[in-house]
Structure 1
Amino acid sequence: MTAQEHHLPVVRTARYYQLGELSTATRRVWVVAHGYGQLAAYFVRHFAPLVDADPTLVVLAPEGLSRFYLQGTGGRVGATWMTREDRLVEINDYVAYLNQLLAVVLPQAAPEVTVTVLGFSQGAATVSRWLTQARFRPVQLVLWAGAFPPDMDFAVAAHLLRELPVTLVCGTEDEYVTEEALEQQRSFFRRVGVEPTIRRFVGKHTLNAAVLAELNEAEIAFRR
């Protein structure tokens, strides 16, 4: 007899980290999604200088719902947004999670609050899939050392990206993103009518403080 697969929705407690005080004075929110094997508590630290310089900015760092030991059965722990196993259900779960997070946060901010979405590595595909079903529209999308999902429905992608500023960021020595892959991403966005901004820095598969500061300044300028 062959076993039948079933799914049962359950209540799950998600974890996220926040930099800055959320209030009606909050005019900007950044949602930043970590990469594979990272934890939000460490990832969010990269954004602390931005919040220290602007009390109207709040940074939210949600954490992937699945955690695991990075090596063996003990030691350091990381998180992941999904794997190939039961992937569509995991995607639906994190989309619902991120939508619920923003539904809680945004009403507490100023009515004119703007949202920047940044995904690093695996988090780039995560936020891209999420935004196709999100209940708000960001002012900019930053895909850092990661890609817009190649399996995304073209029409859905075109609708999401229409008139949305997109920035692709990648280190010159990134171990996972080749020059060819970066050019393929540029070509994809051009096919849906978007000319992405490309930002490079000398470095590997990591965030970069100077580029983060530049992205922050660009968004502040956009608000003006």
Structure 2
Amino acid sequence: MTITNNNGALSVSIHTVKATTHGRYLVCRPATSVAAPVLVGFHGYGEHADRLLSEMSLIPGAENWLLLSIQGLHRFYSKSGNHVVSSWMTRQDRASAITDNLAYVNDVVRSVKDAHNTTDTLVYCGFSQGVAMAYRAAARGNHACHGLVALAGDIPPELKDDTGIKWPSILIGRGNTDEWYTQDKMYTDLEFFHSINVKPETCCFNAGHEWAEDFRESVGQFLCRIR
């Protein structure tokens, strides 16, 4: 790698080192004391676990699930400076970040299942940037996954080359005016799944890059069938 300054170019080598950090996650227990299925959520870029948990709690039937919202490890301040928000990763040292994030999610899910009365049913749910994490956790996580909800985000490219993945039931959502997760991106994802004989459910609704009531209704029905 070359770095330039006023005196010319510097030849440098790049190194990485494993570091230990603490992650944050939120748990909302179900309304009853009986064993509950687990719904794990991954927020979007510049958001936090609190916001996604709030959205998940509005899903019809969510009170029957243990809700787990995991916050990305990379924290920073919002543009206003009033909130601490997070992201999951950047393109820098991408492979290492994916490995770190998967290990983090595996540890969180294990800790929650050890600490609470849960069934074996596990569903991952992602919004925007968090969709990639939901796909990765479902495909390569240590815990058996029974469902995947992907709202406004596409499949990570590295998973398309892995023919050994056993995909769970999938629900893909998109707002009709979403300018980030475009119609073409959604069609590309569906074409990929159809090419491997996987048939996701879909929900398109009148909104943008966001949660909407119509989508929450579809998620509620999807979870009811899995539960």
- CA distance in 2: counterparts of 1:198 and 1:21, whole angstroms: 27
Unaligned runs of 5+ in 1: none
Structure 1 counterpart of 2:184, one-letter code: E
Q: CA deviation at 1:111?
A: 6.0
The answer to whether the 8 A contact 1:46-1:209 is kept is no
Pick aligned residue for 2:37 from 23, 28, 33: 28
Tell me if 1:61 matches 2:69: yes
The aligned residue for residue 131 of structure 1 is: 138
Tell me if 1:44 matches 2:60: no
Note the alpha carbon deviations across 1:70-97, whole angstroms, 9 max, x for none.
438x444421000011111111111110
The answer to whether the 8 A contact 2:42-2:69 is kept is yes
The aligned residue for residue 151 of structure 1 is: 158
User: Relative to 1, partners in 2 of residues 1:107 and 1:41: Cα closer, same or farther, differing over 3 Å?
Assistant: same
The aligned residue for residue 4 of structure 2 is: none
Tell me if 1:175 matches 2:175: no
Tell me if 1:89 matches 2:93: no
Pick aligned residue for 2:18 from 9, 18, 34: 9
Q: CA deviation at 1:141?
A: 0.7
For the aligned residues, what is the CA RMSD?
A: 2.4
The aligned residue for residue 194 of structure 1 is: 198
Equivalent position SS for 1:61: strand
Tell me if 1:98 matches 2:105: yes
- CA distance in 2: counterparts of 1:91 and 1:186, whole angstroms: 23
Q: What is the aligned length?
A: 218
Equivalent position SS for 1:17: strand
Tell me if 1:214 matches 2:196: no
- CA distance in 2: counterparts of 1:96 and 1:159, whole angstroms: 18
Unaligned runs of 5+ in 2: 1-9
User: Relative to 1, partners in 2 of residues 1:23 and 1:160: Cα closer, same or farther, differing over 3 Å?
Assistant: farther
Note the alpha carbon deviations across 1:179-207, whole angstroms, 9 max, x for none.
11111111011112101111011101011
The answer to whether the 8 A contact 1:23-1:110 is kept is no
**Which moved further from structure 2: 134-143 or 207-216?**
207-216
Equivalent position SS for 1:28: strand
**Which moved further from structure 2: 139-148 or 21-30?**
21-30
User: Relative to 1, partners in 2 of residues 1:171 and 1:66: Cα closer, same or farther, differing over 3 Å?
Assistant: same
Q: CA deviation at 1:217?
A: 2.8
Structure 1 counterpart of 2:91, one-letter code: R
Same amino acid, percent of matched pairs: 25
Q: Give the TM-score normalised by the residue count of structure 1.
A: 0.86
- CA distance in 1: counterparts of 2:135 and 2:31, whole angstroms: 25
The answer to whether the 8 A contact 2:193-2:199 is kept is yes
Larger-Rg structure: 2
The answer to whether the 8 A contact 1:33-1:126 is kept is yes
The answer to whether the 8 A contact 1:189-1:195 is kept is yes
The answer to whether the 8 A contact 2:106-2:143 is kept is no
